[in-house]
Structures are given as C-alpha cells and as structure tokens.
Amino acid sequence: MDSSSSLSLAGDASPLLRLSLPQAARLSTSDFVAGTLREAIVSGQLGCGTLLKQDELAEHFHVSKIPVREALKRLEAEGLVNFIRNKGAMVASMSPDEIWEYVEIRAMLEARAAELSAPRISDANLEKARAALEAFRSESNPARWGELNWQLHSALYGDAQRPVLLAEIRSLYDKVERFVRAVLAVTPELPKTQREHHIIIDAFAARDAERAATLTRAHVLDAGASLVNYLSEHRAEPRTSPV
C-alpha cells in the first residue's frame, strides 16, 4: 500500500477519492481503513449522507473488499456509519434529539472523569492542557479545533486512571464533534468556549474535584444546548430535548 498516495478526479469526483492515505505502520488493513474513514467523518471531510461504496473504497485503499467491509461494520458499531437497504453504507446523520442524548451522557461521564482526575492531576498534564488551550486560541482553521479541544480535555482527564471511561468519552466525542465544530465556525460561541476552558483549567490547578466536575458538566451541557438549538432552528426538525 502506498501510504503517501492521494487519488483525485476532476469535476464531480466522489469525496471518497479525495481522501489522503496516512501512514499505515503497525495497523491491520481494516484498522487502517477504519481509522482513515473515521478521521474523515469526524473532521467533516465526508459529510452526512455520503455513500461509502465498498468497491470504490477498496480501489482507493488498494485492498480487497473484505477489510473495507470490516472497517465499515466497525464504524457502524461506533454510530458513524449506517447501512441502508439497497444503498449500502453511508455516513450517519443525527437528529437534534439524538445529539442531545449523546451530550447528556458525555456530560455525566466527563464530570466523573474530572472528579477523579482533578485531585491527582500532574503538573505535566496541566501544562499540556494549557498548551492546547493556547493553540486553540490562536488556531484559525476550524479543521484543527476538534483535535485541539480533545487534547485539552484528555490532558485534564488523564490522571483519572480510568482508560475505559476515557475511551467511552472519546467515542461519544467523535460522534458529535463534526457538528460542534461546524456550529463554532458560524456562531459567536468560540470565545465563550475558550473562557470556560480557562476557568475549568483553574479548577483542576486548584485540585478542586467538586468544582472541576461541576464546571465540566455545565460546559458540556451548555455547548450541547447551543449546538442542538442551532441545528433545530436551521433544520426545522422537531425535538423534545429540554434546551
């Protein structure tokens, strides 16, 4: 597999054929395909409803259809891909209600991670969080915001010593990040988000578990409420979430 290749076609080429192929070292073929597609979906490069044709993907990745099918099934289990009868796999979309449910679960899990991590957070992880915040503040490319945001939060939660909990948080994060970043790019929410990050980091620096958990939960719910309200207004879809 040529890890540096990038296929492109002129005109109305499928977005699948414009995906770059990152380094595949130490990954199984299905892991490599799943990871590349996951990043493209989370980043918004592959938008909601994009068809993921197995033969096209196999040709693009220079592999058989078997690892492609395995990768798509894994992404389906993660909530990023749906299989539609007579159409095949496509990038999953979400209603505002579905997004709000994920946000509520994230808020509970992240508050718990904050509560566990804050009393024992290392100076090194505090510095990582502050560096991510500073990079976030100066980054003008929305495509980078999601990963910088995750770097900040994962640094804060790292000393919780709960790898399963952090993996669940990351999975939920990936499900909604593409929507969060899109809304931040077109609304005035970004400065508010960054101010909240600063206050949360201060609570961790004080090793105040209760305050860190409370602020984290409020931060996730507030950001989720803004996202759901924006999507509800612009999609004109009914919802039942209390925001």
Please report which confidence band the pLDDT of residue 235 belongs to, taking 50, 70 and 90 as the band edges.
Answer: low
Q: Give the CATH class of 15-91.
A: mainly alpha
Percent of the chain beyond pLDDT 90?
A: 56
Among residues 135, 133, 174, 136, the alpha carbon closest in space to that of 155 is found at 133
Percent of the chain beyond pLDDT 70?
A: 84
pLDDT at 27: 64
Tell me the per-residue pLDDT of 45-81, one tens digit each, with 9 for 90 and over.
888 889 999 999 999 999 999 999 999 999 998 888 9
Average pLDDT over every residue of 165-193: 83
Tell me the per-residue pLDDT of 209-225, one tens digit each, with 9 for 90 and over.
999 999 999 999 998 99
- Tokens 């991590």 found at: 117
Average pLDDT over every residue of 97-108: 94
**Greatest CA span in the chain, whole angstroms?**
56
Please report which confidence band the pLDDT of residue 20 belongs to, taking 50, 70 and 90 as the band edges.
Answer: low
Q: Which of 37-51, 75-89, 100-114, 145-159 bottoms out in mean pLDDT, i.e. has the lowest? A: 37-51
pLDDT at 228 over 50: yes
List Cβ neighbours of 22 (8 Å cut-off, separation of 6 or more).
3, 35, 36, 39
pLDDT at 155 over 80: yes
Domain ranges of the chain: 15-91, 96-235
List Cβ neighbours of 126 (8 Å cut-off, separation of 6 or more).
155, 201, 204, 205
pLDDT at 11: 41
| Whether the model pTM is above 0.75 | no
Q: Is there a contact between 21 and 36 (Cβ–Cβ < 8 Å)?
A: yes
Q: Is there a contact between 227 and 179 (Cβ–Cβ < 8 Å)?
A: yes
List Cβ neighbours of 85 (8 Å cut-off, separation of 6 or more).
none
Please report which confidence band the pLDDT of residue 6 belongs to, taking 50, 70 and 90 as the band edges.
Answer: very low
Q: Out of 3.30.465.10, 1.10.287.610, 1.20.120.530, 2.10.109.10, select the CATH number for domain 96-235.
A: 1.20.120.530
Q: Is the dihedral of CA 5, 150, 229, 82 positive or negative?
A: positive
Rg for the chain (alpha carbons), in Å?
19
List Cβ neighbours of 105 (8 Å cut-off, separation of 6 or more).
172
Average pLDDT over every residue of 166-192: 82
pLDDT at 152: 97
List Cβ neighbours of 8 (8 Å cut-off, separation of 6 or more).
17, 18
- Grouping H, G, I as helix, E, B as strand and the rest as coil, residue 84 is strand
pLDDT at 48: 86
